[in-house]
Amino acid sequence: MTTPTYSPGLEGVTAGETTICTVEGGLSYRGYSVGDLAENCSFDEVAYLLLHGELPTAVQLKQFHTRVAAARRLPPPLKELFAALPKWTTPLDALRTAVSALGHFDQDAADNSHDANLRKAERLLAQIPVAIADNFRLVKGQPEVPARQDLSHAANFLYMLRGIEASPAEVKAMDVSLILYAEHEFNASTFAARVIVSTLSDLHSGITGAIGALKGPLHGGANEKVMDILLAAGGPDKAEEWTRAALTRKERIMGFGHRVYKTGDVRAGILKKYAGSAAEAAGSTKWEETADIIERVMAAEKSMFPNLDWPAGRLYHAMKLEIPLYTPIFAMSRITGWAAHVIEQLDNNRLIRPRAIYTGPAARAVAPIGERG
Protein backbone atom coordinates (compact mmCIF):
# COMPACT_ATOMS: atom_id res chain seq x y z
CA MET A 1 0.00 0.00 0.00
CA THR A 2 1.38 3.39 -1.00
CA THR A 3 1.75 5.89 1.83
CA PRO A 4 -0.29 9.03 1.05
CA THR A 5 1.63 12.25 0.53
CA TYR A 6 1.43 14.52 3.53
CA SER A 7 2.29 18.23 3.68
CA PRO A 8 2.11 19.81 7.18
CA GLY A 9 -0.16 22.83 7.13
CA LEU A 10 -1.17 21.81 3.58
CA GLU A 11 1.84 23.81 2.38
CA GLY A 12 2.16 23.54 -1.39
CA VAL A 13 -1.07 21.54 -1.69
CA THR A 14 -3.49 22.61 -4.43
CA ALA A 15 -6.96 22.40 -2.90
CA GLY A 16 -9.15 23.78 -5.66
CA GLU A 17 -9.64 26.10 -8.60
CA THR A 18 -10.63 29.77 -8.52
CA THR A 19 -11.21 32.60 -10.97
CA ILE A 20 -10.96 35.24 -8.24
CA CYS A 21 -7.29 35.67 -7.40
CA THR A 22 -3.78 34.37 -7.97
CA VAL A 23 -0.48 34.98 -6.21
CA GLU A 24 1.54 33.65 -9.14
CA GLY A 25 3.74 36.34 -10.64
CA GLY A 26 2.53 38.83 -8.04
CA LEU A 27 -0.93 39.26 -6.58
CA SER A 28 -3.83 39.95 -8.93
CA TYR A 29 -7.62 40.04 -8.59
CA ARG A 30 -9.49 38.63 -11.59
CA GLY A 31 -6.52 39.41 -13.82
CA TYR A 32 -5.72 42.91 -12.53
CA SER A 33 -2.53 43.44 -10.52
CA VAL A 34 -3.11 44.88 -7.06
CA GLY A 35 -0.64 47.65 -7.83
CA ASP A 36 -2.70 48.73 -10.84
CA LEU A 37 -5.92 48.52 -8.83
CA ALA A 38 -4.48 50.45 -5.86
CA GLU A 39 -3.25 53.23 -8.13
CA ASN A 40 -6.26 53.57 -10.39
CA CYS A 41 -9.34 52.35 -8.49
CA SER A 42 -11.27 52.98 -5.30
CA PHE A 43 -12.01 50.16 -2.88
CA ASP A 44 -15.64 50.43 -3.93
CA GLU A 45 -14.64 49.55 -7.51
CA VAL A 46 -12.49 46.64 -6.32
CA ALA A 47 -15.33 45.35 -4.13
CA TYR A 48 -17.56 45.33 -7.20
CA LEU A 49 -14.86 43.55 -9.21
CA LEU A 50 -14.47 40.78 -6.64
CA LEU A 51 -18.20 40.23 -6.15
CA HIS A 52 -19.44 40.72 -9.71
CA GLY A 53 -16.46 39.59 -11.78
CA GLU A 54 -15.65 42.76 -13.73
CA LEU A 55 -14.71 46.35 -12.95
CA PRO A 56 -17.84 48.50 -12.96
CA THR A 57 -18.85 51.13 -15.45
CA ALA A 58 -19.69 54.55 -14.01
CA VAL A 59 -23.38 53.64 -14.02
CA GLN A 60 -22.80 50.25 -12.40
CA LEU A 61 -20.60 51.82 -9.71
CA LYS A 62 -23.25 54.42 -8.90
CA GLN A 63 -25.92 51.73 -8.62
CA PHE A 64 -23.63 49.57 -6.48
CA HIS A 65 -22.83 52.48 -4.18
CA THR A 66 -26.53 53.27 -3.83
CA ARG A 67 -27.36 49.67 -2.85
CA VAL A 68 -24.50 49.36 -0.38
CA ALA A 69 -25.03 52.81 1.17
CA ALA A 70 -28.73 52.07 1.70
CA ALA A 71 -27.77 48.96 3.71
CA ARG A 72 -25.52 50.88 6.15
CA ARG A 73 -27.69 50.19 9.18
CA LEU A 74 -28.07 47.56 11.89
CA PRO A 75 -31.24 46.03 13.37
CA PRO A 76 -31.95 47.53 16.84
CA PRO A 77 -31.62 44.17 18.65
CA LEU A 78 -27.99 43.96 17.51
CA LYS A 79 -27.25 47.28 19.17
CA GLU A 80 -28.83 45.95 22.34
CA LEU A 81 -26.60 42.88 22.07
CA PHE A 82 -23.50 45.07 21.80
CA ALA A 83 -24.55 46.83 24.99
CA ALA A 84 -24.94 43.47 26.78
CA LEU A 85 -21.52 42.09 25.85
CA PRO A 86 -18.91 41.87 28.64
CA LYS A 87 -16.58 44.87 28.76
CA TRP A 88 -13.58 42.67 27.91
CA THR A 89 -15.05 41.58 24.55
CA THR A 90 -12.61 42.51 21.79
CA PRO A 91 -13.82 44.42 18.71
CA LEU A 92 -13.14 41.40 16.49
CA ASP A 93 -15.07 39.06 18.77
CA ALA A 94 -17.96 41.53 18.78
CA LEU A 95 -17.84 41.64 14.99
CA ARG A 96 -17.88 37.84 14.72
CA THR A 97 -20.97 37.77 16.93
CA ALA A 98 -22.56 40.58 14.92
CA VAL A 99 -22.16 38.77 11.59
CA SER A 100 -23.68 35.63 13.05
CA ALA A 101 -26.61 37.62 14.46
CA LEU A 102 -27.13 39.51 11.19
CA GLY A 103 -27.89 36.18 9.53
CA HIS A 104 -31.11 36.03 11.55
CA PHE A 105 -32.29 39.35 10.12
CA ASP A 106 -31.44 38.76 6.45
CA GLN A 107 -34.45 37.74 4.39
CA ASP A 108 -32.20 35.79 2.01
CA ALA A 109 -30.36 33.91 4.76
CA ALA A 110 -31.44 30.42 3.71
CA ASP A 111 -31.25 31.07 -0.04
CA ASN A 112 -27.96 29.82 -1.51
CA SER A 113 -28.67 30.91 -5.08
CA HIS A 114 -26.08 33.07 -6.82
CA ASP A 115 -28.23 36.21 -6.85
CA ALA A 116 -29.28 35.84 -3.21
CA ASN A 117 -25.67 35.38 -2.13
CA LEU A 118 -24.70 38.55 -3.99
CA ARG A 119 -27.45 40.47 -2.20
CA LYS A 120 -26.30 39.12 1.18
CA ALA A 121 -22.68 39.90 0.37
CA GLU A 122 -23.47 43.51 -0.51
CA ARG A 123 -25.45 43.93 2.69
CA LEU A 124 -22.64 42.50 4.81
CA LEU A 125 -20.15 44.75 3.03
CA ALA A 126 -22.30 47.68 4.20
CA GLN A 127 -23.08 46.38 7.69
CA ILE A 128 -19.62 45.32 8.87
CA PRO A 129 -18.12 48.84 9.06
CA VAL A 130 -21.25 50.03 10.87
CA ALA A 131 -20.96 47.19 13.38
CA ILE A 132 -17.29 47.97 14.02
CA ALA A 133 -17.86 51.70 14.48
CA ASP A 134 -21.08 51.41 16.53
CA ASN A 135 -19.59 48.87 18.93
CA PHE A 136 -16.35 50.83 19.29
CA ARG A 137 -18.12 54.07 20.16
CA LEU A 138 -20.50 52.27 22.53
CA VAL A 139 -17.57 50.79 24.46
CA LYS A 140 -15.98 54.25 24.63
CA GLY A 141 -19.20 55.75 25.98
CA GLN A 142 -19.58 57.91 22.89
CA PRO A 143 -22.83 58.53 21.00
CA GLU A 144 -23.47 56.60 17.81
CA VAL A 145 -22.61 58.41 14.56
CA PRO A 146 -25.17 57.60 11.83
CA ALA A 147 -23.77 56.37 8.52
CA ARG A 148 -23.72 58.73 5.55
CA GLN A 149 -24.85 57.56 2.15
CA ASP A 150 -22.87 60.21 0.26
CA LEU A 151 -19.44 58.95 1.36
CA SER A 152 -17.27 56.15 -0.01
CA HIS A 153 -16.72 52.96 1.97
CA ALA A 154 -13.45 54.17 3.52
CA ALA A 155 -14.62 57.73 4.11
CA ASN A 156 -17.86 56.64 5.76
CA PHE A 157 -16.07 54.24 8.11
CA LEU A 158 -13.63 56.90 9.31
CA TYR A 159 -16.51 59.36 9.70
CA MET A 160 -18.58 56.94 11.79
CA LEU A 161 -15.57 56.07 13.92
CA ARG A 162 -14.54 59.68 14.65
CA GLY A 163 -17.66 61.78 14.14
CA ILE A 164 -15.82 64.08 11.73
CA GLU A 165 -14.80 63.67 8.10
CA ALA A 166 -11.30 62.37 7.42
CA SER A 167 -8.86 64.24 5.20
CA PRO A 168 -8.60 63.21 1.55
CA ALA A 169 -5.10 61.81 2.25
CA GLU A 170 -6.42 59.63 5.07
CA VAL A 171 -9.31 58.40 2.95
CA LYS A 172 -6.93 57.48 0.12
CA ALA A 173 -4.56 55.66 2.49
CA MET A 174 -7.43 53.71 4.05
CA ASP A 175 -8.83 52.99 0.60
CA VAL A 176 -5.51 51.53 -0.58
CA SER A 177 -5.13 49.42 2.56
CA LEU A 178 -8.63 47.99 2.02
CA ILE A 179 -7.81 47.17 -1.61
CA LEU A 180 -4.64 45.34 -0.56
CA TYR A 181 -6.38 43.39 2.20
CA ALA A 182 -9.44 42.50 0.09
CA GLU A 183 -8.44 39.10 -1.26
CA HIS A 184 -5.60 36.60 -1.09
CA GLU A 185 -6.52 33.27 -2.67
CA PHE A 186 -6.86 30.20 -0.36
CA ASN A 187 -5.60 31.79 2.86
CA ALA A 188 -6.69 30.28 6.18
CA SER A 189 -9.86 32.32 6.70
CA THR A 190 -11.00 32.07 3.08
CA PHE A 191 -10.41 28.34 3.01
CA ALA A 192 -12.32 28.02 6.29
CA ALA A 193 -15.28 29.82 4.69
CA ARG A 194 -15.17 27.56 1.64
CA VAL A 195 -15.05 24.43 3.81
CA ILE A 196 -18.06 25.61 5.81
CA VAL A 197 -20.27 26.41 2.84
CA SER A 198 -19.18 23.28 0.99
CA THR A 199 -21.56 21.46 3.35
CA LEU A 200 -24.31 23.68 1.84
CA SER A 201 -24.28 25.88 4.89
CA ASP A 202 -25.05 29.58 4.35
CA LEU A 203 -22.99 32.70 3.62
CA HIS A 204 -23.34 34.19 7.11
CA SER A 205 -22.06 30.94 8.67
CA GLY A 206 -19.10 30.91 6.29
CA ILE A 207 -18.18 34.52 7.05
CA THR A 208 -18.58 33.96 10.81
CA GLY A 209 -16.14 31.05 10.58
CA ALA A 210 -13.76 33.12 8.48
CA ILE A 211 -13.65 35.83 11.14
CA GLY A 212 -12.89 33.16 13.72
CA ALA A 213 -9.92 32.04 11.61
CA LEU A 214 -8.81 35.63 11.04
CA LYS A 215 -8.55 36.24 14.80
CA GLY A 216 -5.35 34.23 15.20
CA PRO A 217 -2.01 36.11 15.40
CA LEU A 218 -0.61 33.93 12.61
CA HIS A 219 -3.26 35.36 10.26
CA GLY A 220 -5.21 38.60 10.68
CA GLY A 221 -4.11 39.31 14.24
CA ALA A 222 -0.56 39.92 13.03
CA ASN A 223 -1.22 43.56 12.15
CA GLU A 224 -2.14 44.26 15.78
CA LYS A 225 1.27 42.94 16.89
CA VAL A 226 3.28 45.30 14.66
CA MET A 227 3.17 48.23 17.06
CA ASP A 228 4.04 45.90 19.95
CA ILE A 229 7.23 45.04 18.05
CA LEU A 230 8.10 48.67 17.31
CA LEU A 231 7.36 49.81 20.85
CA ALA A 232 9.50 46.99 22.24
CA ALA A 233 12.32 48.00 19.88
CA GLY A 234 12.22 51.43 21.50
CA GLY A 235 13.12 53.67 18.59
CA PRO A 236 15.74 54.11 15.84
CA ASP A 237 18.70 54.28 18.23
CA LYS A 238 17.88 50.90 19.81
CA ALA A 239 16.21 49.06 16.94
CA GLU A 240 19.20 47.17 15.53
CA GLU A 241 20.41 45.95 18.92
CA TRP A 242 16.89 44.91 19.94
CA THR A 243 16.24 43.06 16.68
CA ARG A 244 19.51 41.11 16.84
CA ALA A 245 18.84 40.20 20.46
CA ALA A 246 15.31 39.07 19.60
CA LEU A 247 16.64 36.88 16.81
CA THR A 248 19.22 35.40 19.18
CA ARG A 249 16.39 34.52 21.55
CA LYS A 250 14.59 32.98 18.53
CA GLU A 251 11.60 35.25 19.01
CA ARG A 252 9.11 35.56 16.17
CA ILE A 253 9.00 39.08 14.77
CA MET A 254 5.46 39.60 13.48
CA GLY A 255 5.00 41.35 10.16
CA PHE A 256 7.79 39.44 8.41
CA GLY A 257 7.72 36.39 6.20
CA HIS A 258 4.87 34.76 4.33
CA ARG A 259 3.91 31.21 3.43
CA VAL A 260 3.60 32.20 -0.24
CA TYR A 261 5.91 35.18 -0.75
CA LYS A 262 9.53 34.17 -0.12
CA THR A 263 11.21 37.29 -1.54
CA GLY A 264 8.81 39.93 -0.29
CA ASP A 265 5.12 40.85 -0.35
CA VAL A 266 4.31 43.29 -3.15
CA ARG A 267 1.48 44.70 -1.05
CA ALA A 268 3.92 45.79 1.67
CA GLY A 269 5.88 47.88 -0.81
CA ILE A 270 2.72 49.59 -2.06
CA LEU A 271 1.42 50.49 1.40
CA LYS A 272 4.80 51.56 2.83
CA LYS A 273 4.69 54.96 1.13
CA TYR A 274 1.24 55.62 2.59
CA ALA A 275 2.45 54.68 6.07
CA GLY A 276 5.37 57.08 5.62
CA SER A 277 3.14 59.92 4.44
CA ALA A 278 0.73 59.36 7.32
CA ALA A 279 3.63 59.45 9.80
CA GLU A 280 4.85 62.74 8.32
CA ALA A 281 1.34 64.18 8.50
CA ALA A 282 1.12 63.08 12.15
CA GLY A 283 4.38 64.90 12.89
CA SER A 284 6.46 61.88 13.89
CA THR A 285 8.53 59.55 11.72
CA LYS A 286 10.13 57.75 14.67
CA TRP A 287 8.38 54.44 14.05
CA GLU A 288 9.00 54.57 10.29
CA GLU A 289 12.71 55.00 10.95
CA THR A 290 12.59 52.16 13.48
CA ALA A 291 10.78 49.95 10.97
CA ASP A 292 13.41 50.63 8.29
CA ILE A 293 16.19 49.48 10.61
CA ILE A 294 14.34 46.32 11.60
CA GLU A 295 13.69 45.60 7.92
CA ARG A 296 17.40 45.86 7.09
CA VAL A 297 18.41 43.52 9.92
CA MET A 298 15.74 40.96 9.06
CA ALA A 299 16.78 40.95 5.40
CA ALA A 300 20.48 40.61 6.22
CA GLU A 301 20.20 38.06 9.02
CA LYS A 302 17.17 35.95 8.08
CA SER A 303 16.40 36.79 4.43
CA MET A 304 12.91 37.64 5.62
CA PHE A 305 10.93 40.53 4.22
CA PRO A 306 7.87 42.52 5.33
CA ASN A 307 4.36 41.33 4.61
CA LEU A 308 1.32 43.60 4.33
CA ASP A 309 0.72 43.68 8.09
CA TRP A 310 4.05 45.48 8.68
CA PRO A 311 3.13 48.80 6.99
CA ALA A 312 -0.60 48.43 7.75
CA GLY A 313 -0.05 48.42 11.50
CA ARG A 314 2.11 51.55 11.20
CA LEU A 315 -0.35 53.30 8.89
CA TYR A 316 -3.28 52.76 11.22
CA HIS A 317 -1.18 53.90 14.21
CA ALA A 318 -0.19 57.09 12.39
CA MET A 319 -3.89 57.67 11.66
CA LYS A 320 -4.49 57.41 15.42
CA LEU A 321 -6.67 54.32 15.14
CA GLU A 322 -6.62 52.12 18.22
CA ILE A 323 -4.79 48.80 17.88
CA PRO A 324 -7.81 46.52 18.62
CA LEU A 325 -9.46 47.95 15.48
CA TYR A 326 -6.74 46.77 13.10
CA THR A 327 -7.97 43.22 12.54
CA PRO A 328 -11.63 44.27 12.28
CA ILE A 329 -10.52 46.67 9.52
CA PHE A 330 -8.90 43.67 7.81
CA ALA A 331 -12.29 41.88 8.03
CA MET A 332 -14.08 44.99 6.72
CA SER A 333 -12.00 44.62 3.57
CA ARG A 334 -11.71 40.83 3.28
CA ILE A 335 -15.50 40.39 3.40
CA THR A 336 -15.31 41.02 -0.35
CA GLY A 337 -12.87 38.18 -0.97
CA TRP A 338 -14.57 35.86 1.50
CA ALA A 339 -17.98 36.42 -0.08
CA ALA A 340 -16.61 36.00 -3.60
CA HIS A 341 -15.15 32.63 -2.61
CA VAL A 342 -18.34 31.55 -0.84
CA ILE A 343 -20.32 32.36 -3.98
CA GLU A 344 -17.81 30.57 -6.21
CA GLN A 345 -17.84 27.51 -3.96
CA LEU A 346 -21.63 27.28 -3.88
CA ASP A 347 -21.96 27.89 -7.62
CA ASN A 348 -19.85 24.77 -8.32
CA ASN A 349 -19.96 22.91 -5.05
CA ARG A 350 -18.30 19.73 -3.92
CA LEU A 351 -17.99 18.87 -0.24
CA ILE A 352 -14.45 19.56 1.01
CA ARG A 353 -13.50 16.47 2.96
CA PRO A 354 -9.77 15.63 3.07
CA ARG A 355 -8.24 12.52 4.62
CA ALA A 356 -5.72 12.15 7.43
CA ILE A 357 -2.76 9.82 7.97
CA TYR A 358 -3.47 7.82 11.11
CA THR A 359 -0.56 7.69 13.57
CA GLY A 360 -2.36 6.26 16.62
CA PRO A 361 -2.16 2.79 18.23
CA ALA A 362 -2.46 -0.37 16.11
CA ALA A 363 -5.73 -2.33 16.13
CA ARG A 364 -6.51 -3.72 19.59
CA ALA A 365 -9.37 -5.42 21.44
CA VAL A 366 -11.43 -3.88 24.22
CA ALA A 367 -10.69 -5.54 27.59
CA PRO A 368 -13.48 -5.86 30.18
CA ILE A 369 -13.36 -2.97 32.62
CA GLY A 370 -12.27 -5.19 35.46
CA GLU A 371 -9.21 -6.36 33.51
CA ARG A 372 -7.91 -2.95 32.55
CA GLY A 373 -4.65 -2.10 34.26
In the chain, the percentage of residues whose pLDDT exceeds 70 is: 98
CATH number for the domain harbouring residue 280: 1.10.230.10
- The domain that contains 85 carries what CATH number? 1.10.580.10
Note the pLDDT of residue 363: 96
In the predicted model, what is the mean pLDDT of residues 336-344? 98
Contact (CB, 8 A) for 132 and 332: yes
d(CA 101, CA 110): 14
Helices 91-105, 203-214: axis angle to 10 degrees equals 180
113, part of any domain: yes
Mean of all residue pLDDT scores within the chain: 94
Q: 148 and 190 share a domain?
A: yes
Give the span between the Cα atoms of 301 and 308, in whole angstroms. Answer: 20
* Better-predicted residue by pLDDT, 171 or 8: 171
Supply the pLDDT for residue 373: 82
Q: Phi/psi at 22 (nearest 5 deg)?
A: -140, 150
Q: Which residues are catalytic?
A: 258, 309
The pLDDT-based confidence of 348 (bands split at 50, 70, 90) is very high
366 domain-assigned: no
The whole model's pTM is what? Answer: 0.93
**Does 40 share its domain with 98?**
yes
List all residues 6 or more positions away from 104 whose beta carbon is below 8 Å from its beta carbon: none
Give yes or no for a contact between 175 and 42, defined as CB atoms under 8 angstroms apart. yes
Q: Is residue 1's pLDDT more than 80?
A: no
Is residue 262 over pLDDT 80? no
Q: Is residue 153 part of a domain?
A: yes
Question: Is 13 within a domain?
Answer: no
Per-residue pLDDT tens digits for 85-143: 999 999 999 999 999 999 999 999 999 999 999 999 999 999 999 999 999 999 999 99
363, part of any domain: no
Residue 252 domain flag? yes
- Within this chain, do residues 172 and 268 fall inside the same structural domain, yes or no? no
Name every residue whose Cβ is closer than 8 Å to that of residue 15 and which is 6 or more positions away in sequence.
186, 191, 352
pLDDT tens, residue by residue, 15-67: 899 999 999 888 999 999 999 999 999 999 999 999 999 999 999 999 999 99
Taking Cα atoms as reference points, which of 18, 54, 59 lies closest to residue 37? 54
263-272: per-residue pLDDT in tens? 678 999 999 9
Residue 372 in domain: no
CA 322, 216, 104: angle at the middle one, nearest 5? 85
Is residue 261 located within the same domain as residue 283? yes
* Alpha carbon distances (Å) from 309 to 20, 223, 236, 326: 22, 5, 20, 10
**Residues 77 and 108 occupy one common structural domain:** yes
Residues 26 and 156 in one domain: yes
Q: What is the mean pLDDT of residues 69-97?
A: 97
- 184 and 293 belong to one structural domain: no
The answer on pLDDT for 300 being more than 90 is: yes
In a shared domain, residues 91 and 233: no
Same domain, 99 and 201: yes
Same domain, 229 and 103: no
User: How would DSSP label each residue in 10-67?
Assistant: GTT------SSEE-TTS-EETTEEHHHHHHH--HHHHHHHHHHSSPPPHHHHHHHHHH
Helices marked H in 198-257: 203-214, 222-233, 236-248
Supply the pLDDT for residue 72.
Answer: 98
Phi and psi at residue 306, to the nearest 5°: -65, 145
- Whether 155 is covered by a domain: the verdict is yes
Structural domain boundaries, residue 310? 222-318
Number of domains in the chain: 2
69 and 111 fall within a common domain? yes
- The verdict on 313 and 172 lying in the same domain is no
